[in-house]
Amino acid sequence: MRLIDSHCHLNDEAFDGDRAQVLARAKEAGLTRLLVVGSDEATSLGALDLARRHADDGLYCAVGVHPHESRLMGESIPASLQEALSDPRVVAVGETGLDYYYDHSERSVQRDVFARQIAWAISASLPLVVHVRDAFDDAFAILEAEGARRCGGVLHCFSGGPDEAERALELGFYLSFAGPLTYKKNDVLRAVAAAVPLDRILVETDSPYLAPHPLRGKRNEPAHVVLTFKVLAGLRGLDEEELASLIGENGRRLFGW
Give the H or E element holding residue 81: helix 79-84
Residues written for the chain: 257
The answer, yes or no, to whether the previous bond of 95 is cis (omega within 30 of 0) is yes
Interface size with Zn ion, residues (CB under 5 A): 2
Binding of residue 41 to Zn ion (CB under 5 A): no
Q: Is 156 known to sit in a ligand binding site?
A: yes
Q: Is 206 known to sit in a ligand binding site?
A: yes
Binding of residue 221 to Zn ion (CB under 5 A): no
Q: Which of 41, 206 has the CB closer to Zn ion? A: 206
In 3D space, the residue among 196, 138, 188, 193 whose CA is nearest the CA of residue 166 turns out to be: 196
Q: Which of 40, 206 has the CB closer to Zn ion? A: 206
Binding of residue 206 to Zn ion (CB under 5 A): yes
Of 28-36, 174-182, 191-199, 205-213, the segment contacting Zn ion by CB under 5 A is 205-213
Query: What is the rounded CA–CA span in Å between residue 202 and residue 257?
Result: 14
Q: Is 75 known to sit in a ligand binding site?
A: no
Neighbouring residues of 246: CB distance < 8 A, sequence distance ≥ 6: 198, 199, 201
Q: For residue 36, list its beta bridge partners.
A: 8, 61
Give me the sign of the Cα torsion angle 25, 28, 29, 34: positive
Min CB(12)–Zn ion separation in Å: 9
Query: What is the rounded CA–CA span in Å between residue 83 and residue 63?
Result: 11
Min CB(7)–Zn ion separation in Å: 6
Min CB(240)–Zn ion separation in Å: 25
Binding of residue 68 to Zn ion (CB under 5 A): no
Of 40-48, 142-150, 201-209, 229-237, the segment contacting Zn ion by CB under 5 A is 201-209
C-alpha 75, offset from chain centre = 25
Min CB(13)–Zn ion separation in Å: 14
Q: Which of 128, 233 has the CB closer to Zn ion? A: 128
Binding of residue 69 to Zn ion (CB under 5 A): no
Binding of residue 131 to Zn ion (CB under 5 A): yes
Q: Where are the beta strands (DSSP E) in 134-173?
A: 153-155
Nearest residue to Zn ion, using CB? 131
Q: Is 131 known to sit in a ligand binding site?
A: yes
Which amino acid, one-letter code, is at 235? Answer: L
DSSP state of 223: G
Q: Which residues bind Zn ion (CB under 5 A)?
A: 131, 206
Question: Binding site for a divalent metal cation, residues?
Answer: 7, 9, 95, 131, 156, 206
